[in-house]
Amino acid sequence: MVLFGSKLSKLDLGLTPHLETLYLEGCNDLVELHIPPKGSILKSLFISGSKLSKLNLGLTPHLKRLVLENCYYLQEIRAPIGCLKNLANLKLSGCSRFERFVGTHRYHLLEFGILATLVLIAESQDICPLHPNSNLPKFVFKCFYGEPLPSLSGNLEKLLSFGLCACTNLESFSASICGLQRLRNLTLEGNLPEVPKDLCQLECLEKLTLSMKEIKHLPDSICMLKHLKSLDLKFCWLLQHLPMEICRLECLKELYLTDCISLQDIPNNICKMKCLEYLDISYCILVDKLPEEFGSLEGLKGLNIEGAGISRLPQSIYHLKGLRIIGSRWRLESYGFTSLIEISTYTASCYIRDIHHVSPI
C-alpha cells in the first residue's frame, strides 16, 4: 500500500491483515499508526515526514526493512526485541528528536557467526534546533545498518539511542561505536574530527572504511584489529602518517589510501605485511618513494600509483613477478615499461616480468 501526501491523521492496519508493504511519504498530518497487536505479516515499512511521536511496531516478526526519514517528532520506537529477528535494513535519518528504543525482552548474544554492517555518515550543523547555545560539536547522522538477526546482538538499540539532538559528545559517540557487537564492516564518513579511539574492541571487524577529511591521525588501536582484511582510507585530506605499527595487521589484504593528499610517506614496516595483496596510493601527491624493501611483499598482486608523487621504483620491486602496476601512461613509460595495457586516455597498467633494472627518471 502506498500513500503519498495523504491528510490522514490516524491509520489503523487492523483492517489490512495481509499487508506486506506500507509506504507513507509526505503524510505530514499522521500522528497515530496502529499495527495489529496479535501479529502482522508486514515486511517493509517506510514513513517520511510524519508527526508520529511514538511508533509501536507490535508483533511484526516478518519485518525486514524499516525506513524512517524526516520524522522530526519521533521520540520512541517500541517493540518486543524478539520480534525484530528478521530486520535486516534500518534507515533512520532526519529524526532529530529521537530519544530511545524500548524493548520488552532481552537476549544474550549467541555465537551464530552472524556479523553486521554499519555505514554512518556525519554531517556537521551550525546550530542545534533544540539547544542553540550548546558548545558541543553538532552533527546529524545518516545511518545504514544491516544484520540478519539484530535482536541477538543488541546493536539496534544502541544505534537507535545515539541521541536526542544534534549535540554530540565525541567520547560517548566513540564508546557507542566501539561497543557494537559482531561488526564485520564499518564505514565512517563525513566531518567527524577524530576516529573512535577504541576500535580494537571490534574484534570481528574485517573491513574498515574511513572517509573523514578532517582527521589528522589514526588511533594506534587500529593496529590491534587482528581479523582486518581491508583498510580503506579515502579523501582523508589531512592525514599525514600511517600508524607506526601498521605491520601488526597480519591479515590485511587490501590497503587503499586514495586521495590522502597530505600523506607524507609509506612506512618501511609495511614490507612485513605478508598477506597484503593490493596497495592503492593513487593521488597521494606527497608520497615520492616506496620503501627499499618493497620487494619483500611476496603476496602483492596489484599496485596503484596513479597521480602519486613516486619519482622512482625501488629495485627490489622487480622481484615481484606478475605484479600489476597501474599509473599514468607517461610515468610507466619513464620507468622503462613498454608493454602497457590501456585503461583510459591517460591511464595504463603493466606487469612486472623480466625487467631486471630500470633507471629512475
Q: What does pLDDT average to over the chain?
A: 84
The pLDDT value given to residue 80: 67
pLDDT at 76: 81
Among 311, 277, 275, 269, smallest CA distance to 294 is for 269
Mean pLDDT of 155-182: 74
| pLDDT of 162 | 56
Residue 90 has pLDDT above 80, yes or no: no
Residue 118 reports pLDDT greater than 60: yes
| H or E segment and range at residue 332 | helix 329-334
What is the C-alpha to C-alpha distance for residues 105 and 198, in angstroms, rounded to an integer?
Answer: 29
Can you give the pLDDT at residue 235? 96
What are the cell numbers at 114?
552472524
User: CA 318 to CA 352: how far, in whole Å?
Assistant: 6
Give the tens place of pLDDT for each residue, 318-361: 999 999 999 999 999 999 898 999 999 999 999 997 444 444 44
Report pLDDT for 38.
Answer: 65
Length of the chain measured in residues: 361
Q: What is the pLDDT of residues 212-268, one digit of tens each?
A: 999 999 999 999 999 999 999 999 999 999 999 999 999 999 999 999 999 999 999
pLDDT at 176: 84
Better pLDDT: 90 or 307 = 307
Q: Give the model's pLDDT for residue 326.
A: 97
pLDDT of residue 357: 46
Q: Residue 107 has what pLDDT?
A: 32
Please report the pLDDT score of residue 209 as a whole number.
97
Lowest mean pLDDT, pick from 51-55, 85-89, 218-222, 271-275: 85-89
| pLDDT average, residue stretch 8-29 | 87
pLDDT on residue 361: 40
pLDDT confidence of residue 109: 29
Q: What pLDDT, on a 0 to 100 scale, did the predictor assign at position 74? A: 85
Instruction: Please name the amino acid found at residue 167.
Output: C
- Continuous segment of H or E residues that includes residue 158: helix 155-160
Q: In the chain, pLDDT over 90 holds for what percent of residues?
A: 49
Among 228, 238, 72, 92, smallest CA distance to 157 is for 92
Average pLDDT over residues 88-95: 72
The pLDDT of residue 64 is: 84
Q: What percent of the chain has pLDDT over 70?
A: 85
Per-residue pLDDT at 332: 94
Nearest to 165 by CA among 136, 204, 198, 203: 136
Q: Does the pLDDT of residue 110 top 50, yes or no?
A: no
- Compare 167 and 319 and report the one with higher pLDDT: 319
pLDDT at 286 over 90: yes
**Within 10 A of 100 (CB to CB), how many other CB atoms are there?**
12
**Residue-wise pLDDT tens digits, 125-151:** 888 777 888 888 878 778 787 776 555
